[in-house]
Amino acid sequence: MMTRDTPARRRTPWLAALLLASLAPTASGVPAERPATRMVGSATLTRCRGVDAWCGRLARPLDASGRVAGTIDIVFEYYAARGTRRGTLVATEGGPGYPATESRAAYLALYEPLRADHDLVLMDNRGTGRSAAITCEPLQSAAALTTEDIGRCGAALGARAALYGSSDASDDLEAVLAALDAGPVDLYGDSYGTFFAQVFAVRHRERLRSLVLDGAYPLDGPDLAWYPNYAPAMRAKFDRECERNPACAARPGSSLEHMAPALEALRRRPHPAQATDADGNVRHFRADAGALALVLFGAAPAYATLREADAAARAYVAGDRRPLERLMAEALAAVDSRDRSHAAALFSEGLAAAVMCQDAPQIFDMRLPPAARLAARERALAERRRSQPDSYAPFTIDEYRELPPDYAFIEQCVHWPAADPAHPPAYREGALRGFPALPVLVVSGELDNMTTVADGAAAAAQFPQARQLVLANSLHVNALPHARSACGAALVREFIATLELGDAGCASAVPALRLAPDFARDSDAVPPAAPREGNVTGERGLRLAAAAVATVGDLLGRLAANDSGHGVGLRGGRFVARSTGLPAAVHATLRAVRWCEDLAVSGTVDFRPGGDDGEAHLSFRARDGRRGELRVSWPPGGPAARAQLVGQIDGRALRAEVPAP
C-alpha cells in the first residue's frame, strides 16, 4: 500500500514564511564574517542561500548495479547543533514527490527544542527538489492526471524508470549520513515518508537510534493493493464527528445516511457545474457521484470537508447547490499536489509516478507488458465487483474509480513500463530482511482516512519495539505545525529525547471539530443568537449576529487550504489573509463577504492555525438596511465552545452568545 500526501497537510506559503522567519537567528546573533565552507565528516559544505544552514551535494550512482550508467547529485541541508552535539535528527518528506528541504520550516518547528544538542539533516530524495527533480511532460503540466500520461512518463524515463524508488533513495540517505559521520540517527517520516523510513530501517538498521512514523501504513499486508481500510475510515470519520456534535447527532441516522440523498440525487441527475476553490479560482467540473466521492475520500481540504460535508449535502437536496459544489471545486484543487507554477522542483509528478509504480502493491502483475496488464486489470475489477462490491461504499467501485488516478490508487500504473526484475518493489523489503528491534513510535490521527489507524497499527506490528499513538479528533500527520493539537509534536520530541512515550493523556484530549451549521440563503433562516444580560436588540438582530458569526466560521474553513492569501465568500465578497506576530497567527480581512445572500460582512479575524480560539471585529449590512458592529471572541474547545458577542445593531445594544465558529 502507498498513499499520496494531501496538499492540505502542507503549510500555506504565506504562513510558512512567517514560521521560518520565527526560527531564524536574529541579526545580532550572527557573526559579521562567517566562513563560506566547512567540513563535516568527509563532506565539504557551503552556506545555503537564504537559509541559515549548510548545503551539501553528493554524487551517487544512478544505478548501484551499474547496469544503467551515470550519476545523480543528491542535495541536502545540514543544520548544526547550537551546542555540543549529542545526536542527529533526520526528517523525510511525504508525497512522494515533495522535497524535504521545501518543508524545512515545519521540521525546524518540530525539532526546535532539540536543536541545542542535535544536528538536523534534510535530504531531497532523488528525483525531487534540487536532487535532479523529474520533469515529465505533459504529466507535470496537464490540466488533469491520466493513466496514459503516467505511462508516457515511464516510457520517457526508459531504463531509469525503476531507479527512483524508496530502496535507492534510502541508500542515498545512508551515503549522506556516512559522509557526515552521523549516527545512529533519529529518523522522522510523515505520510509517504513513513514508507521510505521503513525501507531505510530494514536496509540500514545500524544507522538508526529511533524511528518515528507520522501518518503511517505498512510496507505490505493482505489485500493492500485495494486499500481496504480507506472506505471504512472515511465513513467512520464523518459518523464519529457527527456523534460528537449535538446538532448533528440530534438528526436521525448517521452522517453518511444524512449524505445519502445527495449521492442518489447526483446519480440520477449529474450535471455540469462551476464553483470557486479555496483561493477563489473558478473551477468547471461535472457534479456527479464521482465528484462527491472525491470530496469524501480525498480528505482535501481536510478541515473544510469534514466540517461542512454533512450540512452541504443536506443543503444540496434542499435545493441549495452552492455549498456542496464549492466543496467539489475545492477538492479538485486540493488533491492536485503540484505548485501553482507546476514547477517539478516543488513537486514532481513524474517522481510520484515512478515511486508509486515501482514500490506499491498493485492489483495486477507489474511484470506484464502494459497491453497484457490492461486485460489483467479488467479481470481483477470484474472479480472485485463480484466478490466485494461494497469495497468503497457508499460508492460503487466504478464511482470510486472516477477519483484522480493518484487518489483512487488502484490502476494509476496500468500503462507504466514492465517491472525490472533487477529492482524488486520496496514493499518486499521487510519480508526479505526483517524489521529491526529498535524504538519505534507510530503516530496516527483518529480521523485520517488516508493513512488510517488500522494501517498505523499494522505498521507498528511489524516492529518488535513499536508503539502506536492515536490522537483523537485528528487528521493526517500530527507532529508538524498544521496539526490540530500540539500534543503530537510534544510527544514525538519526548520520545526522541528519552526513547519512551511518557504520559500520552493529551492524545485523548484533542477536542472534536466544530461542524458547520445548516447553510442558509437568507439570514431569517439562521437560528438567533442567545441573548445575554444587557441585550436590547430583538430577534431579527440576533439572527443577523448569528449569521455574521457563521460567516467567520465559513472563512476559517477556507483558510486551512488557502495557498494564495486571498479568496471569496460562499455567495460573494472577498477576503485576504496574512501571517502576523509570533507565535504564528493569521490576520484575515473580510470585504463584504456573504455567507447568506442578504448579509454582507466586513472586518477582521485573528486566530491561531491549529488552535480553535480567535477574535473578530465585524461590521455588517443586511439587504433590508439593518447595520451592525460586532466584536466576537471564542475560546479553544470542541462543539460545546461558545462565542461571546458584544456590539450594536441600528444603535441598539447587542449582548449574546452562539456556538463558536
What would the pLDDT profile of 272-308 be if each residue is shown by its tens digit? Answer: 999 999 888 999 999 999 999 999 998 778 889 999 9
In sequence order, the 6+-apart residues with CB closer than 8 A to the CB of 640 are none
Helix, strand, or coil (residue 260): helix
Closest CA to 175 of 351, 41, 359: 41
Other CB atoms closer than 10 Å to residue 369's CB: what's the count? 9
CA distances from 109 to 78, 186, 493 (A): 15, 16, 11
CB distance 184 to 206 below 8 Å: yes
Closest CA to 499 of 87, 78, 80: 87
pLDDT of 22 reads: 53
Instruction: Report pLDDT digits (tens) over 64-88.
Output: 999 999 999 999 999 999 999 999 9
> Taking residues 374-381, what's their average pLDDT?
97
User: Between β-strands 87-92 and 118-123, what pairing exists: parallel, antiparallel or unpaired?
Assistant: parallel
Per the structure block, which three cell numbers stand in for 616? 473578530
Residue that is written with C-alpha cell 471539530 in the block: 513
The CA-to-CA distance between both ends of the chain, in Å, stands at 37
Q: Does position 26 have pLDDT exceeding 60, yes or no? A: no
Phi, psi of 576 (to 5 degrees): -130, 150
Q: Does position 32 have pLDDT exceeding 50, yes or no? A: no
Report long-range pairs for 383-392 (Cβ below 8 Å, ≥24 apart).
384/226, 388/226, 391/226, 391/228, 391/231, 392/230, 392/231, 392/293, 392/297
CA distance 9 to 95: 10
pLDDT of 27 reads: 39
Phi, psi of 426 (to 5 degrees): -70, -20
Helix, strand, or coil (residue 6): coil
Residue 207 binned pLDDT confidence (cut-offs 50, 70, 90): very high
CB distance 170 to 199 below 8 Å: yes
The pTM of this model reads 0.94
pLDDT of 532 reads: 97
Measured at the alpha carbon of residue 361, what is the angle toward residues 392 and 288, in degrees to the nearest 5? 30
> Taking residues 399-404, what's their average pLDDT?
96
Length of the chain (residues) = 661
CB distance 224 to 247 below 8 Å: no
> Taking residues 477-499, what's their average pLDDT?
95
CA distance 363 to 414: 9
Q: Does position 613 have pLDDT exceeding 90, yes or no? A: no
Helix, strand, or coil (residue 437): coil
Output the 3-class SS for 360-415. Answer: CCCCCCCCCCHHHHHHHHHHHHHHHHHHCCCCCCCCCHHHHCCCCHHHHCCCCCCC
> Taking residues 333-360, what's their average pLDDT?
91
CA distances from 384 to 6, 226, 234, 235, 291 (A): 27, 9, 20, 20, 22
DSSP H helical ranges for 421-471: 429-433, 453-462
Residue that is written with C-alpha cell 458547520 in the block: 516
CA distance 370 to 367: 9
Phi, psi of 243 (to 5 degrees): -60, -30
Residue 579 binned pLDDT confidence (cut-offs 50, 70, 90): confident
Helix, strand, or coil (residue 493): helix
